[in-house]
Structure 1
């Protein structure tokens, strides 16, 4: 009997709650509620019953920019040689994917860089794409919040070099770029896309970019951009909150460049950007943290 149990344990995946590659859960599967370890004073939306049963309370300020990352136990968020690094690090954990869908469902728009687009072929940055089993609940939430059916995809690129064939671009996106980048894109974008020009050339001024997005009615913004975009947002004091999923896997570092949540911005020791814990949840061996970033 002991031998049989040991063999069964060895066969079990290190990420037992992962979602199959097609993104759909078996009909018998039902995600268990998150364990709420700590909940601070945060705004609360009137979530649909199914969503609240799983996650608990969630809400945002009327104007906010929040990020979402999954990292390994040792702080790795990217795998240079591996596309869709987040799925690898999380093991396609269903609780992590549910939260990704929920955070997208709350947002007017999802902001990311061209590098993230290239690293995630075939993806759509919509709630139902990442967690299709809760599509109805996500749709109900967006209707309650007065959101459009899908969050608008916002792509940041200084050069204008993006994958035109990517299904997320074909489905419709707003390209945030420089005048030089807009020239590069001229005549190449699908009709479903539009362009916001910020500056003549060089890196996109994210302060001006966010101001322009908000002038167009995009107030609640989620960024799923990579470490460099996140670093730029933090460096300029633009990121308000950070959701961080800690996966119980050790990624390691050696020859390959493996970044954490922030790159391109060195803060300590000269600048101390402390954050405040807003909530902490547990699902299996995964931790789900929400921090508010304090302005320094």
Structure 2
């Protein structure tokens, strides 16, 4: 989940000031972009994706909580403890992407956030920009907000800066005249739900073949339900969140996999910084489609 970095303005430092991650394991033969040297040093290795690719990035507590509930805005920051290494990895994954895909709930839960690489790790902004130039990417990844209902905080700064809003016909009608001029609308369905395959097809048609999603759990459930998620980056934060009367979701909502239809993943990379783990998984080819299911309202 995204973290709000408003309390962490740039301090004028550079990527080289970041303590490098410790490499624990890396599967051989992975694609490599050829990261600029400062990024490769901080990440402790190269990074790349075979297009088209949909990859997710989440931070979770040890007990599997990814969000603290609607009464705790920007709860990803609380879960991660605003760990600089987590913010760097988040920025790096955004810098690799053509588009960043989020659900309306994630937008509402992070009221000041902007889904750009430099927002979470401003000291690496020049190196992120160099990476995007080398990959032929636009200056910033396109933000794509998915909403079935059209219930969006239209004053959100991320929308004011410009984002593609993917919604249903009903959502389009609800948003008519309310969105900033910089927000085009992609109407994907006449029903009450959205299909992720239609959204990704539209993104691919615009040349967006590397798509990062930062949630939320319902959106991940939709992607898995349609067999569209390829990889998962998971930061395990050394904290226990606990659960009582507040709904505190795990990584996936709206979709049951075990015991009948497990979606197994293979660990292809592991890094650490102190007690934080940075894990990368690839969905097994045999589980690339966990079965067609009805889309979940977002």
**Aligned-partner SS, 2:105:** helix
CA contact (8 A) 1:48 1:137 kept: yes
CA RMSD of aligned residues (A): 1.5
Structure 2 counterparts to residues 88-237 of structure 1, below 5 A: 88-237=78-227
Per-residue Cα deviation, 1:197-243 (whole angstroms, up to 9, x for no partner): 11102111111111121112111000011111111111111100000
Which range moved further: 251-260 or 135-144? 251-260
Q: Show the counterpart of 2:270.
A: 280
Task: Give the Cα–Cα distance (whole angstroms) in 1 for the partners of residues 227 and 75 of structure 2.
Answer: 26
Question: Matched residues in 1 for 2:8 and 2:233: separation?
Answer: 25
* Match of residue 75 from structure 1: 64
- Contact 1:101 1:126 (8 Å CA) reproduced: yes
Q: CA–CA distance in 2 between the matches of 1:164 and 1:273?
A: 36
Deviations 1:149-192 (A, max 9, x none): 00000000011111111110010000000111111112222121
Per-residue displacement from partner, 1:125-153 (whole Å, max 9, x unpaired)? Answer: 00001100000000000000000000000
1:25 CA drift (Å): 4.5
Distance 1:273 1:86 in 2: 25
- Take 1:222 and 1:23, find their aligned partners in 2: how far apart are those partners? 24
Residue 25 of structure 2: aligned partner? 38
Higher mean alpha-carbon deviation, 240-249 vs 190-199, is at 190-199
Q: Can you give the 5+ residue segments of structure 2 that lack an aligned partner in the other structure?
A: 288-298
Corresponding residue of 1:50: 38
Aligned residues of 1:181 and 1:201 also touching (Cα < 8 A): no
Runs of 5+ consecutive residues of structure 1 not aligned to the other structure: 1-18
In structure 2, the partner of 1:23 is 9
- Say if 2:52 is the partner of 1:63: yes
TM-score by length of 2: 0.90
Q: Using the alignment, how far apart are the partners of 2:7 and 2:89 within structure 1?
A: 18
TM-score (norm 1): 0.91
Equivalent in the alignment of 1:14: none
Deviation at 1:57, TM superposition (A): 1.1
How far 1:22 moved relative to its partner?
Answer: 2.5
Structure 1 partner of 2:295:
none
Q: CA offset at residue 21 of structure 1? A: 2.0
Q: Deviations over 1:17-70 (max 9, x none)?
A: xx8923334759922111111101311011111100110211111210000000
Q: Distance in 2 between matches of 1:280 and 1:267?
A: 25
3-state SS, counterpart of residue 198 of structure 1: strand
Query: In structure 1, how many angstroms separate the alpha carbons of the residues matched to 2:244 and 2:238?
Result: 19
Shift of 1:108: 0.3
CA distance in 1, matches of 2:270, 2:13: 29
Number of equivalences: 278
